[in-house]
Amino acid sequence: MKSILELDNVSYSYHSLDGETSALQNISFTVASGEFIAIVGPSGCGKSTLLSLISGLIKPETGSILINGTENNAGNTNIGYMLQKDHLFEWRTVYSNVTLGLEIQHKLTPERLTKVDQMLETYGLAGFTKQRPSELSGGMRQRAALIRTLAMEPDLLLLDEPFSALDYQTRLEVCDDIATIIKRERKTAILVTHDLSEAISVGNRVIILSKRPGTIQRIVPISFSIPDCTPMQSRNAKEFQEYFNTIWKELNHHE
Ligand code: ADP
């Protein structure tokens, strides 16, 4: 399958008056079109730094990052970002929030708006377009934020702990919802999370980073015997606990 993202030997250090902090070292992996990658690792190992590098916000010190075969210079690639906060604006309706990105980029074309309407319909928000974000549940807000991101038709979606502000029950439902939408829309996504169960339930592969400076400790391919299972259903698959134990041991074997 065509690869969307290629990282080759990427390293990055932060420089400050106190000196140099090596955040990531020798990171190489590729992501195929339509894959869902989950990245886990100890706090401070460089997970957010890795997403910033992929998005082009910061440049690698060594190595290269190619998106669709091109270096991500000056935002020439189309990357969607979903963060812990949904950043919906209360002074705008739900509809004018989900079309905000298109408005800013002057892409409010009939084709794009039709696609937005279809997504609002399919993902249960069509009846809420005139509402304000505060009138939506936490899950609906995240769905609206995702539709706003998908409206831009990104080649790659980066998700940085997008569910960690939610309580456990809501988190399970929203994660299931969002991951199912991303798979259904056949998007390529990279999720950073500290929740191993979340990583295993959504990822086609889980990349385990070592403690700082983050290196790739292991990449675990995930597949379940339940065909076409949703993230929630995968938690009941017999392989789930095995994956959990493997990744847990891998993360803790240096301690
Ligand atoms: P994670 O997302 O895995 O928790 P980060 O990517 O946020 O880790 O950070 C990796 C390391 O780089 C941490 O040790 C952090 O303290 C350091 N770091 C992050 N941002 C900066 C910065 N702007 N200046 C200096 N050090 C930083």
Task: Please indicate whether residue 54, judged by its CB atom, sits closer than 6 Å to ligand 1.
Answer: no
Quick one: pLDDT band at residue 76, thresholds 50, 70, 90? Answer: low
Indicate if the alpha-carbon torsion angle 229, 235, 236, 239 is positive or negative: positive
* CA atoms within 13 A of residue 161's CA, in its CB half-sphere: 12
134 DSSP 8-state letter: G
Query: Are 215 and 26 within 8 A, CB to CB?
Result: yes
Whole-number Å distance, alpha carbon 20 to ligand 1 midpoint, is 11
Atom 1 of ligand 1, residue of closest alpha carbon: 44
For residues 159 and 168, what is the distance between their CA atoms, to the nearest angstrom? 18
% of the chain residues with pLDDT over 70: 97
Q: Which two tokens stand for residue 155?
A: 């080649």
Task: Give rounded-to-5 percent helix, strand, coil for the chain.
Answer: 35, 25, 40
Q: Tell me if the pTM is above 0.85.
A: yes
Task: Please indicate whether residue 45, judged by its CB atom, sits closer than 6 Å to ligand 1.
Answer: yes
- Return the ∠ at Cα 160 (arms to 82 and 101), rounded to 5°: 15
CATH architecture of 3-78+156-254: 3-Layer(aba) Sandwich (3.40)
Q: Where exactly are the structural domains of the chain? A: 3-78+156-254, 86-153
For residues 115 and 100, what is the distance between their CA atoms, to the nearest angstrom? 14
Q: Estimate the crossing angle of helix 168-184 against helix 138-150, to 10 degrees.
A: 20
Q: In what order do the strands lie in the sheet with 62-67?
A: 19-32, 3-16, 62-67, 70-71
131 DSSP 8-state letter: S
**Per-residue pLDDT, 74:** 60
The size of the chain, in residues, is 255
**Per-residue pLDDT, 185:** 87
Task: Please indicate whether residue 47, judged by its CB atom, sits closer than 6 Å to ligand 1.
Answer: yes
> What residues does 39 pair with on adjacent strands?
192, 207
Q: Which two tokens stand for residue 190?
A: 């990279």
Q: What is the pLDDT of residues 104-163, one digit of tens each?
A: 989 999 999 999 999 999 989 999 999 999 999 888 998 999 999 999 989 899 999 988
**Per-residue pLDDT, 105:** 87
- For a ligand 1 pocket test, name from 22, 50, 212, 251 the mutation site with the most ligand atoms within 8 angstroms of its C-beta: 212
- For a ligand 1 pocket test, name from 43, 48, 49, 83 the mutation site with the most ligand atoms within 8 angstroms of its C-beta: 49
Q: Which two tokens stand for residue 126?
A: 């069509």
Q: Which DSSP helix (H) or strand (E) runs through 249?
A: helix 239-252
Greatest mean pLDDT among 95-99, 140-144, 168-172, 177-181: 95-99
What are the helix (H) ranges across 123-207? 138-150, 168-184, 196-202
Q: What is the pLDDT of residues 223-250, one digit of tens each?
A: 998 888 888 899 989 999 999 999 999 9
